[in-house]
Amino acid sequence: MRSLAALNLQILLILLVSLVAAAVHRQQVKMPPEIVLTSDASESSRDIADSVSADDGGDDVIQIGTVTVDQAYTYFQEGAQFVDARNEEKYIEGHVEGAWLVPFAVFGSGYPEVLDYLDPSQVTVIYCEGGDCDASKLVAKQLLLHEFIALKILTAGFPAWAEAGNPVETGIAE
């Protein structure tokens, strides 16, 4: 009987240590915030840091401005960096002139080298196919974790950009 009580005490102690370790781990691991898209294109994700709130689960909620094709073109003329969140095949077929290929998959194998060429403090317009495509939102979450502070999402996507006659190029830069 005494050994059964000791075994139960050891099991209880192991469970308690496991729970504490899990709680500490959750505090140290950076989790991507939830993104709420807003149509106010004048605010960056950092500009609205005061409105970042915690939901019932304690996760951050970040608002990112969405931009129209015309607003994106204005950012393009001002020298903003563009990130294409689509796959490489789509990128090669055509992309915003000067855009960087940063599909969500590149974040799965550690730090993506392409981030060394982007400026986290510069306005960054992210796009995908538009419509129901969430690739730009997924990439935005990852860029937030890498401290990009001025993110915009072109919700109409690349097809609308190209249809408007804006600067497009094909292939991959060497």
pLDDT value for 125: 97
CA distance 111 to 113: 6
H or E stretch at 54:
strand 53-54
**What average pLDDT does this structure show over 133-155?**
93
pLDDT per position as a tens digit, 72-88: 999 999 999 999 999 99
For the full predicted model, state whether its pTM sits above 0.85.
no
| Contact predicate 97/69, CB 8 Å | no
**What average pLDDT does this structure show over 32-55?**
45
In the chain, where are the structural domains located? 1-30, 31-169
Chosen CATH of 31-169 out of 2.60.40.10, 3.40.50.720, 3.40.250.10, 3.30.465.10: 3.40.250.10
SS3 content of the chain, % helix, strand, coil (to 5): 45, 20, 40
Helices (runs of H) and strands (runs of E) counted in the chain:
5, 9
State yes or no: pLDDT of 32 exceeds 60: no
CA distance 125 to 34: 18
pLDDT per position as a tens digit, 105-139: 999 988 999 999 999 999 999 999 998 899 999 99
H or E stretch at 171:
none
Per-residue pLDDT band at 158 (split at 50, 70, 90): very high
